[in-house]
Each structure stands twice: as structure tokens, then as C-alpha cells.
Structure 1
Amino acid sequence: MTSNSLFDNTETAFKLKSDSELERAYFLFKMISMEPLVKIGSAVTKFALNLNLPVEGLIRSTVFDHFCGGVNERDCMSTVDKLYDVGVSSVLDFSVEGKEEDAQFEATAAKVMELTELSKNMDAMPFSVFKPTGFGRFKVYQKITENQPLTDVEKVYWKNIENRYDRVSKTAHDCGIRLLIDAEESWMQDAADELCEIMMEKYNTERPIVFNTLQCYRWDRLEYLKDLHQKAKAKGYKLGFKIVRGAYMEKENERALEKGYKSPICESKKATDDNFNEVMKYILDNLNDIELFVGTHNESSTYLTMDMMKQKEISKSDDRVWFGQLFGMSDHISFNLGAVGYNAAKYIPFGPVKDVMPYLIRRAEENTSVAGQTSRELTLLKKEKKRRKL
């Protein structure tokens, strides 16, 4: 068994934080721990930004600088270098959300290709990433998922989405950079999955380049994984998966209730944890066919993955297994993993403050709703502040 105290080392976890950054982090998580405050704060922030009130400076110096790398990729580079010096890689995530225009989707795809080209010459950035709705309208994915006919205009939109997926996947393939594709709401996900499978079949012939994301709070994902594994073996291509628990739980349950269908979400936290661990084990059992990116802030699942690797004699630095956490969160996991030789990466969101706001609000709400997560951050920050005083 792995020693279950690795993640208690706060000196390693907060090595890169100055005393003032440590204080800011403590203040932020203290605020985030108060649910009414997060709800009010989110509403006020959206309102202020929409009215172009001068709040950008305040947002930048607090929540933005803590959870984001900057407004453009140049801003992120010093962070990327610092992280790499302590054994942690970076995944630069252009986190612009909620766009509706084709020109904006084109710009996002161009940005992802640019970042992929940039990564080609940087060991510190082994992955690229995008979100399906960064490349096209949610409505179009939804209509395809629900088997509704597309209008002539929507058919053109879908063709454009396919084209963006293909250009970005080809760029990743040509650069030898792995491409992580995020997952979103279940009522649009089938269309995104299908597109991703087409890309895997086309570009994962020698090794996994295109990675899909499995949200393990969905009870159907293990079955989906097993079916796709058989299909990929039959057709002779490899798979790559990032596994996460999922970020849209309340939305999913509310919609299922409202529309009267069975919720796609596991019935309990324990069922979700079990499902996540089963998916992880299945991939580790089939590592010659499927590569794994464990995207989690859950210590138990991380320790379990480490134990499984040990049992199977998979080396810590085996390039087929990666661990990832979001920038500004769970530093005690990322930095301690990197320090002892595991492949660890930070997802670093960036983009104009106003465009990144939906991402930041989701992070704040997620931290508020995940029981224990914020209190764990606060406990560790308090411990490190005390250690430095001594």
C-alpha cells in the first residue's frame, strides 16, 4: 500500500506560493466556503461585467489570478516554467465559454492549434485541450444527440464543427501532442462522443493522440468504455481517456426530474466514487490499448490509482498514466505527486477576464458544493501558514 500521508506535506504543496499568495488563497477559500456569498457574488459579478462596471481589476487581483494563468498564453509562460521546475507539467486551457458565433468558434479552434504547435517544442506542455461547445453551438450537439432533424443552416454548422475537430486533431497528431476533449451535459454528449470516436479511429492508429473524457458520476460510462474498447480493438486503433467525476450534477438531476426521465447520475456519492474507481481499474488493466489521464481532486482515488500501479508494476513515470488537477486547487496532490516522480499536470485556464468568468463561477460553485473539499484546502493552508511562522 502507498503511504497515505504523501498529500499532507504542505511545504512541497505550497512551495511556489509567496506568503501573500498563501494569505490570498486562504481568504478566497474562506469566502468560497460560504454558499450564500458565492451565489450572491456570482450574480453581482455577472451583472457588473455585463454593465461594464470597473470590477475587472478587483476580479483579476483575487479570484482570477488564483485560478487562471493570465489573459493570454504569454502571461502563462512564467507559471508553466515554475511548475515544470518542481516536476509538474501544464495543460493550457483557453477557457472562453458561451459563444454563439461561427467566427468565435473558428477563433477558438485556431487558438487550440496555435497552443498545440507551441507545445510541440516544450516538454512542459504534453497536452492540448478543448471543450466541445468551444467549437460549436450547444443546440446543434443537442439536436444530434436527441435524433432531431437539423435545418439546412444547422447542417452547415455541424459540418463546420466536424471540420474544426478534424483540423485540431490532425494538428495534435502531426505535433505528437495529446489532445484532451472535455465532456459536457449528457443531453449533448452523444454527438460529441461520436465525433471524438471518429477522430480516435483516424488519428489513434499508432498511439492515443485524441482523448475523450468520461464523467464517472454517469452510471453508464463503464459500459460505454467497455463497448468502445471492443470496437477499437476490432478496428485496430487505440483509446485515450481523461476520467473525472463530473461538474454538472445539479443541472443533470434537475433536468431529469423536470422532463421525467431517469437521471443519468449515480444515486449517491459512494456509487460515483465506486464507478470512478472501476473505470480507472479497467483502463489500468488494459493499458496497452488505452491511456489514462486521472483528473481528480479526490485523495482516495489518487492513492488507489497509485496502489494499482504498484501492484501491476507500472512505473511511476510511465507516460501512459497521468494525474491532473486544476490550477489553484489541490496543490497538495499535484506538487507532492510530481515531487516523487509521478506524471502530474495542472490545467491552467486563461483568456480575457469577462470570457473566463463562466468558468470561474463554475469553479466557485463546485468548491462550495463538494463537501469537504474547501475545508481540506483551508486546513492545509492554515497548516502551512503555521509552519512558516515557526
Structure 2
Amino acid sequence: VASILCVPMETDDTVDNCNNPEKERFFDTNAAKVLSSIHLSSQLGDSLAMTQFRISALMAGDLTKAVSRFCAQTTHNSQVLAGLTDAMFGRVVEFSKLPGWASFPQERNEEFARGLQRLGKIKDALENSEVILLVDAEYTSINPTLRLLALCLMTVCNKQSTKVFYTYQAYLKITRDNLQQDLEYASANKFGFGVKLVRGAYLVPERQSARHLGYEDPVNESFELTSSSYHSCLDLLLKHVALKQPLPVRVMVASHNEDTMRYTMSRMTALDIPRDSCSVFFGQLYGMADHVSFTLGHLGYRVYKSIPYGPVMETLPYLARRAQENKAILINARRERKLVAKALKDRLTLKA
């Protein structure tokens, strides 16, 4: 069982002067944390080391929301992707002149460019290492921007191997279609496609926002529909993994659900995907579903635990946020406690 290093980073959702030097230093500090995490991951000795981060920690929340309002229509526009990539490299780009981007707020051009330049530094660090980078998805109000920028990273970082993964949230009704479209775009443009597949952690605030603002609830109506979506996405991805393409599709099966683990194992067997495949990984949060993680590892699958690290005062807010977001996971806590108690009892009995 290997580690996914997760450096705790909070976002800045305040709305104030877009050229606030203090805010820019905040985002620069977050970018430096990501670079440090990539370097540390490369030193751990794992052949497939991983780290994860949030693009939303590199630029203002209201800016990612503003861009998300129109960029979803240009997710696969090669001119847009090329323009954003140019900005990552430090070239001057007027974003409002990109196709479909006439609504971009021109007064925030430099601010957005600085955020993209931070991504450019992360791109440079990835090119000099073999670390796999997992990019988080978050709320539907900013996901179009996060998805687009993750695809930009993939186009430049995944030419030789699949290093950048984006997170797809199966609890959203639109996820299966988005996944299919992105997969086809990656194949057509000859770059490796990486996916971290999750059920999703923002169910309550997403539904509250939909009710408050009066738009259709973006979340599946039930856990069963979400599981069906998850398995449908997984089927699509594993079929592509089985093709063994030169630039492989890679997937992190990020779930604590035992039924999903069994389903994945059965599909891998049916598709003749080896247990130790370098294209299929399993992931759980550190301290959660350990009985699942270590059983999978014992069976020969590639398993990872997401481990937050850093100063206590920076890590505690992150852990509090994750606990709030992942209340659904805690449903299984009682069962896990029983399993731990049984294991302890068995060991004490053996010693006696």
C-alpha cells in the first residue's frame, strides 16, 4: 500500500481587489506547496508516486466561477486550449479574444494569467519527475474551469506517459457524458488520459445551492443511481485500459465501497487486466476503510492511501473540511470499529 501525498491547501473565496498583493502571495505560497509535494513524492522511492492538489487554490474563487459560466462550451476547442497553454508558458494572451471567450472580464486578464503561470511551474516540475498528479474536482460552479485547465495540463504533460489525472464525480448526472467526451478528445489528440473516479463529496451543498438559486439539482436522485453511474464510468474506462494503447488510459478507483471494489476486480478479471497493472489503481483516505485497502494490497492490486501532511495549524482546517464533506463515509465507521475489535480479540486469543 503506497501513499498519495496531499498537501492541505485552502482556497480564497473573498471578493476584493483582483490585484491584491496579499492574495497573490497566498496563491504563490500554495503553488510552492504543490511543487514541494511533487519533489517529496519523487523522493519516496515508489515507482508510481502520486500527489494531489486543487487548482482552485491557485486563483481566486470568484474568477474560476466567472470563467466557468462560459468556458464549458469551449472545453474541447483546440484554439482555447492552445491559448491557455501559451499563458502557462508565460506568453501574453488576451483571453477575451479566444473563441467563445468574449465574456471574459478583461480587467482580470493579468490575474488569470498569473494563475496559469503557477500551473506552468507545476507542469515544469512534472516534466522533470515521474510523479502522477491527481487534480481535484470540486463544486459544479467552478468545475468547468477546473476540468478545462486539467485537460490543458494533460495535453502538455501526458505526451510520453499518463501523469495528470482529473477527478470525475459519479454523483453528478452529467459526469458519464463529460467522461466520454474527454476520453474521445484525448484519443483524437494523442495524449494520455488519466481519471480519478469518485462518487463525490459535495452532495449537500450542491443540492442546497440548486434549491436556493432555482436550477435543476445536478446530483443523482439516489445512492443507487450514483453507484450505477460510477460502475458505468468504470466499465468505459476499463475497456480502454484493456486495449493497451501506447499512451494508456489510467484510472484511480477512489472509493471506500466494498461492492465497488468487488465489481472492479471482477471486471478486471473479465477483461484480462493484471492485478498489478500500471493503469488501474485503488485509493482510499488515510484512516478509512483500512480493511478494504490492505485486503486489496494483499491480493496484489496497486493500492494508495491519501495522506494529508504539513504543519498542524494548516492541516486541521483541511481535515475539518474533509470530515464535513465526507459525512456519508462515516456511515461505515461502526462496521470498521467492529472489524478492528474482532481483529484485536483474535490476536489476544492467539497470544493466550
TM range (shorter): 0.7 to 0.9
Q: 1: CA distance between counterparts of 2:123 and 2:255?
A: 25
Partner of 2:331: 372
- Is residue 139 from structure 1 mapped to residue 93 from structure 2 by the alignment? no
Residues 123-202 of structure 1 mapped to structure 2, 5 A cutoff = 123-124=45-46, 126-147=49-70, 149=103, 151-152=105-106, 154-202=108-156
Partner of 1:284: 238
- Is residue 348 from structure 1 mapped to residue 307 from structure 2 by the alignment? yes
Unaligned stretches of 5+ residues in structure 1 = 1-87
Partner of 2:180: 226
Q: 2: CA distance between counterparts of 1:132 and 1:225?
A: 19
**Comparing both structures, which one devotes a greater share of its residues to helix?**
1
CA contact (8 A) 1:94 1:351 kept: yes
Q: 2: CA distance between counterparts of 1:209 and 1:255?
A: 34
Q: 1: CA distance between counterparts of 2:123 and 2:312?
A: 28
Shift of 1:122: 2.9
> How many aligned residue pairs are there?
303
Partner of 1:60: none
CA contact (8 A) 1:214 1:241 kept: yes
Partner of 1:109: 31
Q: 2: CA distance between counterparts of 1:315 and 1:255?
A: 43
Q: 2: CA distance between counterparts of 1:345 and 1:296?
A: 11
Higher relative contact order (CA closer than 8 Å, sequence separation 6+) = 1
CA contact (8 A) 2:201 2:326 kept: no
Structure 1 letter corresponding to 2:252: F
The structure-2 alpha-carbon separation of the partners of 1:201 and 1:351, relative to structure 1 and needing over 3 Å to count, comes to same
Name the SS of the counterpart of 1:109 in structure 2. helix
Structure 1 residue ranges (4+ consecutive) displaced by more than 4 angstroms after TM superposition = 148-153
Name the SS of the counterpart of 2:141 in structure 1. helix
Q: 2: CA distance between counterparts of 1:206 and 1:347?
A: 26
Structure 1 letter corresponding to 2:5: L
Residues 1-390 of structure 1 mapped to structure 2, 5 A cutoff = 88-99=1-12, 101-124=23-46, 126-147=49-70, 149=103, 151-152=105-106, 154-287=108-241, 288=245, 289-366=248-325, 368-370=327-329, 372-390=331-349
Shift of 1:249: 0.5
Name the SS of the counterpart of 2:128 in structure 1. helix
CA contact (8 A) 1:96 1:351 kept: no
Shift of 1:115: 2.3
Shift of 1:353: 2.6
TM-score, reference length from structure 2: 0.81
Structure 2 letter corresponding to 1:165: L
Aligned residues: CA RMSD: 1.9
Q: Identify the range of structure 1 (94-103 vs 206-215) with the bigger mean alpha-carbon deviation.
A: 94-103
Percent identical residues:
29
Structure 1 letter corresponding to 2:58: F
Name the SS of the counterpart of 1:313 in structure 2. coil
CA contact (8 A) 2:256 2:329 kept: no
Unaligned stretches of 5+ residues in structure 2 = 14-22, 71-101
The structure-2 alpha-carbon separation of the partners of 1:119 and 1:355, relative to structure 1 and needing over 3 Å to count, comes to closer
Q: Identify the range of structure 1 (239-248 vs 158-167) with the bigger mean alpha-carbon deviation.
A: 158-167
Q: Identify the range of structure 1 (113-122 vs 366-375) with the bigger mean alpha-carbon deviation.
A: 366-375
The structure-2 alpha-carbon separation of the partners of 1:368 and 1:119, relative to structure 1 and needing over 3 Å to count, comes to closer
Task: Please list the CA deviations of residues 143-172 of structure 1 after superposition, one character each: whole Å capped at 9, or x if unmatched.
Answer: 100139555553222112211122212311
Shift of 1:378: 1.9
Name the SS of the counterpart of 2:282 in structure 1. strand
Q: 2: CA distance between counterparts of 1:93 and 1:296?
A: 17
Shift of 1:256: 0.6
Structure 1 letter corresponding to 2:10: E
Q: 2: CA distance between counterparts of 1:261 and 1:358?
A: 31
Q: 1: CA distance between counterparts of 2:155 and 2:162?
A: 10
Shift of 1:351: 2.5
Name the SS of the counterpart of 2:178 in structure 1. helix
Q: 1: CA distance between counterparts of 2:145 and 2:11?
A: 18
CA contact (8 A) 1:91 1:347 kept: yes
CA contact (8 A) 2:56 2:146 kept: no
